Amino acid sequence: MRVRGDNNPGTFSIEAVPNKPGWCLVRFYENAQEYTEELDETTITGWEYDEYHLEQPTISQEDIPGGFVTTKLSDQQFEDLIVNRKGVTLAKDENGTVKAFALAAGWDYWMQVPIMKRMTEVLPDMPFEGTALDETNTYQYGPVCVDVSVRGTGVFEGIFKASLKQFEDQYPVMVTFINQINGRSYAAHTKKAHMTEIGTFDFNDNHYWMMAIKTR
């Protein structure tokens, strides 16, 4: 269908499907062009484009209790995170096989992800240990994924500490969010990573915990 928006939509976007954990909504955009329109002596400008969408599973229903990730990045976004931001921490076995990874970056990077933008809007209302939080004194950590073969072996704790140390000279506080139906992730980040729940927020009909920890 033909739709209008304020900005050039690019070629595609991916977002979580409200109330459907493990599913994502992929939107495809084509034939984008700028438009100008006069309405009641007001000039309106924006972008007009064709939009198509589909829902697809990102994780099977039986795997949800084991934890899940809903943040999606394009190949170009991953390359930027790896090459320019140095924001990917890896854990490998003796054969060089990646067994876990954690992503982290400042807010200027994450603003391209809608839920992260929402986080910056509610963060000032969630002080941590007497400190007001905003985009200048925090950074966003996650998602983090640990292969099932190494869970419970200390790999999660190790990769968390490594990611925390990576940004300790830039930001005093690390924050992240966890879907309130993702009990495994909440348990890992509170019991093993010792993060503190500082508030809750909603996005796309899903409910999230906001978590924080000092970097040093």
Please give the pLDDT value at position 62.
53
Q: Helix, strand, coil proportions of the chain in percent (round to 5)? A: 25, 40, 30
- The count of domains in the chain is 2
Instruction: Specify whether the CB–CB gap between 29 and 11 falls below 8 A.
Output: yes
41 and 133 housed in the same domain: no
Q: For residue 110, give the amino acid letter.
A: W
Which contiguous run of DSSP H or E holds residue 202? Answer: strand 196-203
Q: What would the pLDDT profile of 18-64 be if each residue is shown by its tens digit? A: 777 667 676 777 788 999 998 888 999 999 988 877 565 565 555 55
The radius of gyration of the chain's CA atoms, rounded to the nearest angstrom, is: 19
Whole-number Å distance between alpha carbons of 149 and 87: 24
44 with 74, same domain? no
- The string of pLDDT tens digits covering residues 176-216 is 999 888 888 899 899 999 999 999 999 887 889 999 999 98
pLDDT-derived band at 157 (thresholds 50, 70, 90) equals very high
Say whether both 193 and 140 belong to one domain: yes
pLDDT in tens, 126-137: 999 999 999 999
Residues 84 and 132 both lie in one domain: yes
> Do 130 and 118 lie in a common domain?
yes
- Name the nearest CA neighbour of 74 among 31, 28, 33: 28
Host H or E run for residue 118: helix 114-122
What does the DSSP 8-state code read for residue 83?
I
Q: What is the CATH number of the domain that holds 125?
A: 3.40.630.30
66 and 52 within one domain: no
Answer yes or no: do 97 and 124 share one domain: yes
pLDDT at site 115 = 87
Give percent above pLDDT 70 in the chain. Answer: 87
Q: Which pLDDT score is estimated for 68?
A: 47
13 vs 91, higher pLDDT: 91
6 and 84 together in one domain: no
Phi, psi dihedral angles at 189 (to 5 degrees)? -80, -25
Give the residue, 69 or 181, on which the prediction is more confident.
181
Whether pTM > 0.85 for this model: the answer is no
Q: Do residue 67 and residue 80 come from a single domain?
A: yes
Same domain flag for 147 and 74: yes
Domain span at 26? 2-57
